């Protein structure tokens, strides 16, 4: 006779006492899968800063008991992507304005260094790759919208990362960008924003292709909204509810 597993009191049961939507895969593996999905949704901005995450709703969505969902949320909390507050539940973590500014400043300086190294090490292959990247941006600007231009923008920056021939630096930038990507959801929403970005891409690409390290770094630094005016414009597009409550102390 098979022994029946005693359910955890916090797990959801049907009328016969069976786990609802129980998955036969190892619980830790299922929790990791749920964490990966939620992490991508948080970092992409699909789950916005401050959004409430309900365990029961997530369990129903992923067709599992609440235990792997709870484990996934704890993993996300360890990565500071969600906040678990007693009697308040779980929500997507919010950064302060000063934290966002600090990360953007870091990204700007690292991107500038990347462009500088790409200009220093430019060859014919990189020149052609940059031409291709600019063509993608132009096509997306004319024929596409937010999503298409965002993809072209990523391709452009990844081309420069590869051109710098410094994978360690490139990974630093990617990690920093992932931390603030959920605060960049208002980028490329208008033709004016897209046109401005495209013009700046062209300036950066031309400087790299010419091997002008100083100009490439300067153009890239102006491209990233880390300065006073650029950051102010970025901030004006963001709902203040996205920022932590102590943001006023920036």
Dump pLDDT digits (tens) for 3-22. Answer: 444 444 444 444 433 344 44
**Where residue 196 falls among pLDDT bands split at 50, 70, 90?**
very high
Same domain, 166 and 59: no
Residue partners of 150: CB distance under 8 A and separation at least 6:
187, 188
Q: In angstroms, how far is CA 171 from the centroid of its own chain?
A: 13
Flag the least confident range among 69-78, 98-107, 234-243: 234-243
Where do runs of H (alpha helix) occur along 65-123? Answer: 66-78, 97-120
Same domain, 70 and 107: no
Q: Are strands 52-53 and 82-85 parallel, antiparallel or unpaired?
A: unpaired
The parent domain of residue 230 ranges over 97-249
Model-level pTM greater than 0.85?
A: no
Mean pLDDT of 151-180: 95
* Residue 236, SS3 per DSSP: helix
| Number of folded domains that form the chain | 2
Same domain, 128 and 166: yes
């Amino acid at each position: 006779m098979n022994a029946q597993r005693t359910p955890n009191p916090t797990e959801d049961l049907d009328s016969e006492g069976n786990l609802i939507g129980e998955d036969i895969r190892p619980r830790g593996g299922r929790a990791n899968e749920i964490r990966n999905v939620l992490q991508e949704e948080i970092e992409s901005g699909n789950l916005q800063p401050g959004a409430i995450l309900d365990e029961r709703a997530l369990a129903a969505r992923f067709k599992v008991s609440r235990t792997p969902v709870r484990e996934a949320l704890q993993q996300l909390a360890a990565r500071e992507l969600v906040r678990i507050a007693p009697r308040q539940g779980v929500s997507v973590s919010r950064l302060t304005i000063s934290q966002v500014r600090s990360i953007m400043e870091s990204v700007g300086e690292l991107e500038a260094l990347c462009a500088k190294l790409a200009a220093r090490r430019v060859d014919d292959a990189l020149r052609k790759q940059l031409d291709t990247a600019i063509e993608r941006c132009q096509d997306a600007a004319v024929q596409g919208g937010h999503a298409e231009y965002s993809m072209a923008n990523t391709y452009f920056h990844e081309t420069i990362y590869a051109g710098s021939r410094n994978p360690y630096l490139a990974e630093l930038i990617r990690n920093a960008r992932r931390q603030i990507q959920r605060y960049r959801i208002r980028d490329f929403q208008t033709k004016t924003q897209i046109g401005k970005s495209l013009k700046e891409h062209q300036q950066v690409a031309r400087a790299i292709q010419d091997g002008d390290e100083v100009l490439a770094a300067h153009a890239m630094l102006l491209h990233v909204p880390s300065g006073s005016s650029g950051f102010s414009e970025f901030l004006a597009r963001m709902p203040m509810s996205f920022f932590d409550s102590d943001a006023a102390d920036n």
